[in-house]
A and B are shown apart, each in its own frame.
With several copies, the nearest count.
Chain A
Amino acid sequence: MRYQVTVEGRTFDIEVTPDGQVWVDNQPLHVDLESIDGLPLYSLLVDHRSYDAHVEKNENGDQQVVVAGRPYRATMQGENIPTTQVTQHQKDEGPSEISAPLPGWLVDVRVAEGESVGAGDVVAVLESMKMHLELRTARDGVVRSISASAGQVISQGEIIAVIDDLPRA
């Protein structure tokens, strides 16, 4: 089985033979991955170098491998593996929603309905865990609606404002 694994921009060519031997970039490596008690917890030995690895989902639901306490996103290609589509499919059209990435309290709403906004403008400020979080719009537009007001408790994912595209010239 041959894999192309990309970790944070670095790509490794990894081959695992039917008897479990591992070749990386066509060099043999002595690799021993031990799963601990059915947990997503592993002890990895690579030519006797010892790593601890933990496989988990990150906030966005993507799988990540935590090595020595540091999280790495890994994507994989290989025979029978649907190529991971990391296409930069950005919606350039239609309304965009500004929602709360965390639950918290709305400290401030900086825009009014009907107001024009530019990419990067702060639409609202959310407080969560004693931190202020600025919620910005990713592109130019007009505020169609605002569905929350300062002082209000907000759930995760709750929509705070909807921004319409600028009318086409």
Chain B
Amino acid sequence: MIKKVLVANRGEIAVRVLRTCKELGFETVAIYSEADREALHVRFADEAYCIGPPPPKDSYLRGDHILQVALEAGAQLIHPGYGFLADSPEFARACNDAGVTFVGPLPETIEQLSDKAAVRRLARRLRLHILPGTKRSLDDAQLLASADKIGYPLLLKAAAGGSGIGIQIINSHSELETAIPTARREARTTFGDGALYLERLIENARHIEVQLLADAEGHIINLGERECSIQRRHQKLIEEAPSRALDSSLRRKILRSAVRIARTVGFIGAGTVEFLLDPEGRYYFLKVNPRLQVEHTVTEAVTGVDIVKEQLRIASGRSLRYSQKEVKPRGWALECRILAEDPFRNYTASIGRISRLHEPGGPGVRVDSGIYEGLAITPYYDSLLAKLVTWGETRGVAIVRMRRALEEYRIHGVMTNLDLHRALLNSHRFFGGQFHTRFLEEQFVPKEPEEEEYLAAALTTALLDWRRRAGAQTQSNGVANRWKMLGRWELLGGGDP
């Protein structure tokens, strides 16, 4: 029997998952909001169903609608991608109860992992370092008192937040006093919950995470680590695998810690354990993400493992195909997140229609895109347009390849952060691997564009005006070329033109 998979997501990750489904010969079902009728994932899937108006709460977060579509279309599996319903134990449970397999861990595991206090307790029991911090239900006075005990700088976070939203850096008691009321109000408006908590800020920390695969029989393997320290506003921007920050003994320890915590919670499927690494080589457990991550691509590039395929296999009840020994990473991989935003104007989001698109290619380049020429970029969802991944034998090769691929990339019609990526990839500190999670915001100074490009822009402007005036007789470039070429023949002194 051919299986049918519903992908409960949109954009690049929906396309990513659909690709593997197609390779496995599965029938595919897409869902879309009213704003996404034109979206690439709709055109990509075998079937597509509208599930509601643009706001996520009315469409991509409507688990009831999505499940209904799965039943109507006869899907046996639902892949949630990342974000939206991927971390929802309720949705996972509803799917499984309705006889549609949720591609992810057991609902109980997701539930357990979403209880941050419980996870911290668990990590402490496993003797992992955790970041000093507070509970999630303190009043203003308690927050201030705890802050003085933990010490500054620290992070003020919205308890209901996530993905880097609702986080502020606090440097002193008085800063905290000023920040609390605004943060509460914003958290209430944004997440519907004003609860805040504090966490020690580790300075010059690096973000290290471990990719895991686990089957229902209790086999757990790691696919190595990723480093995601290049961030803006606490959101990852560039990721790589492996990490330059780990030597082999530290790597072994972190990988082992990740597997242990996953084993303890009975993890099944693909997941990631996140750590912060301080400059002294001490690593702090942050959390377990019970789902596919945006940056899974770099792990795929170095291991050759299709993580989505393994997710679907595990969800179908099959056991892992690899032993730990059979996972043999090769080379280095980088990922740049291509976002519709203006990095030089405070990362303002940009909307519009993709008027022209030219994607890079050639050796060692992978593009995972959710866009195509003609597509409208709407303001309803996140600004991730595409992911550019390069692989090289060494980190250096992966970097120069990424530079080359970024130079090839053209996206017109919306502002993107391609130029920021070009600048980052050209920085010596990035090349040297000397960075931390606040590198971009605190230390990075982009290079000025090349002088000669100004002249190119000026010449284009002047010549277009001149041609408009001169009219038809100069339109014929062929004639001009032939003329110039004849000149060249004379110069070269030979050849009949």
Contacts and interface: CB of A to CB of B under 8 A. Distances in A.
A154 B147 CA distance: 37
Interface string B260-303: 00000000000000000000000000000000000000000000
A162 B460 CA distance: 41
B185 A108 contact: yes
A50 B379 contact: no
B453 A70 contact: yes
A51 B481 CA distance: 17
A20 B476 CA distance: 12
A61 to B, nearest CB: 12
Contact of B374 (A1, A39, A103, A130): A39
Interface residues of B, number: 71
A50 B459 contact: no
Contact of A130 (B163, B409, B456, B463): B163
B415 interface: yes
A133 B458 contact: no
Given A34-B38, A69-B418, A74-B458, A130 B412 contact: no
A53 B454 CA distance: 11
Contact of B348 (A10, A32, A102): A102
A104 B190 CA distance: 12
Interface string B209-227: 0000000000000000000
Contacts, number: 199
A50 B465 contact: no
Nearest to A30: B484
A29 to B, nearest CB: 8
Given A20-B480, A39-B374, A44 B460 contact: yes
Contact of A54 (B190, B351, B380, B412): B412
Interface in A12-56: 12, 14, 16, 18, 20, 22, 24, 29-37, 39, 41-46, 48-56
Contact of B42 (A29, A50, A78, A131): A50
Contacts of A104: 379
A81 B165 CA distance: 49
A65 B457 contact: yes
Nearest to B353: A37
A68 B381 CA distance: 28
B480 A108 contact: no
B248 interface: no
Contact of A36 (B73, B374, B382): B374
A138 interface: no
Nearest to A129: B349
A56 B457 CA distance: 12
A111 interface: no
Contacts of B379: 102-104, 128-129
B341 A16 contact: no
B465 A133 contact: no
Contacts of A14: 458-459, 462
Contact of A1 (B347, B382, B466): B466
Interface in B52-101: 55, 73
Given A35-B477, A68-B407, A128-B379, 18 more contacts: A3-B461, A14-B458, A32-B480, A32-B481, A39-B356, A41-B356, A44-B459, A53-B457, A54-B356, A54-B412, A55-B460, A56-B412, A69-B422, A72-B454, A78-B465, A102-B351, A129-B383, A131-B348
17 contacts: A6-B458, A32-B484, A33-B464, A43-B37, A45-B48, A48-B47, A50-B30, A56-B413, A59-B415, A70-B449, A102-B348, A103-B351, A108-B185, A127-B190, A129-B340, A130-B163, A153-B55
Interface of B: 30, 37-38, 42-49, 55, 73, 163, 165, 185-186, 189-190, 340-341, 347-353, 355-356, 374-376, 379-383, 407, 409-410, 412-413, 415, 418-419, 422, 449, 452-467, 469-470, 474, 477, 480-481, 484
